[in-house]
Amino acid sequence: MSQQSHFSLSFFYAFVSLLFIHHVLASTSTTPQVQTFNTKPDIINPKLPPRTLSSSKKFEGSSDLVHLRYHMGPVLSSTPINIYLIWYGRWANSQKLLIKDFLYSISPTTVAAKPSVSEWWRTVSLYTDQTGANVSRSILIAGEYTDSAYSHGTGLTRLTIQQVIASAVKSAPFPVDHKNGIYLILTSQDVTMQDFCRAVCGFHYFTFPSMVGYTLPYAWVGNSGKQCPEVCAYPFAVPGYMGGGGPGALKSPNGDVGVDGMISVIGHELAELSSNPLVNAWYAGEDPTAPTEIGDLCEGLYGTGGGGGYIGHVMRDRQGKTFNMNGRRGRKFLVQWIWSPELKACSGPNALD
């Protein structure tokens, strides 16, 4: 090897060494270069086929033509609102925990990422009674009763559901709480209910003293997972006339189509039960036997830009799970919006405007 070649190689090695030293110094400087990953969920607004259940009460958007009026009755203003859960049928512990996590997420003391369930319930708390008292923002699960023996059969009606409540309140230590309590009856996926899947996914009313002994506000919601997910777990399942039917393009946030679908219906019924517990407070229309309430007005809307077949802008995480609000313990939920008396429009915590 010539001296000139030796000099050239030496120069090359020295140059490479300088580059290496510069790279090391740069990587250990006081302002390190940190590689970041985008952990924010995607924002989507999918257009889906309408569910088969009639939604004639749905009002997409806002209008002064919606005559939601106060009819001088009470709202649930006690703090907290005591919820008494009645589990009818066979329920997995994981399903119970998911529903209870949603209920506990309503209270403002719950630690949750934004947009949150607690922020969603704030819209419900804007409704007041004639004294100016607001719907309470705090929720307490004050008791639970389980009837896994189907003591009233696997086919229920609007009247026999009151017998289920009567059985629960007669069993110690499940109390009668006619001042601060509401009763939430949840039926498992193998229990049928009068008009379930055909006309309703849930409903609320109050008990008759002749059947229960007291006038108690209550709500019923059924698990549609085996019976009609395309109706009552929409949009996690789509109508059968779509290609193949079955689960839809939207992935449920907690991996249980039936229970994830129930969550939104539970939210819908609790919002209406709290603002219209005896069907003489907040509703639109002149017929109290068929009122249009604050959940009915926004049925099927989950975000900004909803309407015309679009559910609105919602979030999708890296696992493809669809949601629009967060709850405690890192839970995610997809819950419909509620009519705001301030905005005179459907409102939710994930609004983009």
Average the pLDDT over each of 16-30, 98-112, 113-127 and give the range with the smallest value: 16-30
Mean pLDDT of 60-71: 70
CA distance 74 to 274: 9
Alpha carbon distances (Å) from 6 to 2, 15, 20:
6, 14, 21
Tokens of 205: 């009313």
Would the pLDDT of 11 be above 70?
no
CA distance 161 to 185: 8
Express each pLDDT in 265-301 by its tens digit.
999 999 999 999 999 999 998 888 889 999 999 999 9
The pLDDT of residue 77 is 96
Does the pTM surpass 0.75? The reply is: yes
Confidence band, pLDDT 50/70/90 cuts, at residue 248: low
The pLDDT of residue 51 is 60
Q: What are the backbone dihedrals phi and psi of residue 159, each rounded to the nearest 5 degrees, phi first?
A: -85, -45
CA distance 289 to 280: 10
The pLDDT of residue 241 is 60
Residues 6+ apart with CB under 8 A from 54: 199
Would the pLDDT of 83 be above 50?
yes
- Tell me what the pLDDT averaged over the chain comes to: 85
Would the pLDDT of 334 be above 60?
yes
Confidence band, pLDDT 50/70/90 cuts, at residue 242: low
Mean pLDDT of 118-122: 98
Q: Is the dihedral of CA 226, 301, 67, 73 positive or negative?
A: positive
Alpha carbon distances (Å) from 278 to 50, 154, 182, 215:
31, 28, 11, 9
Confidence band, pLDDT 50/70/90 cuts, at residue 41: confident
Confidence band, pLDDT 50/70/90 cuts, at residue 45: confident
The pLDDT of residue 309 is 79
Residues 6+ apart with CB under 8 A from 31: none
Confidence band, pLDDT 50/70/90 cuts, at residue 37: very low
Express each pLDDT in 183-239 by its tens digit.
999 999 999 999 999 999 999 999 999 999 999 999 999 999 999 999 999 999 887
Confidence band, pLDDT 50/70/90 cuts, at residue 16: very low
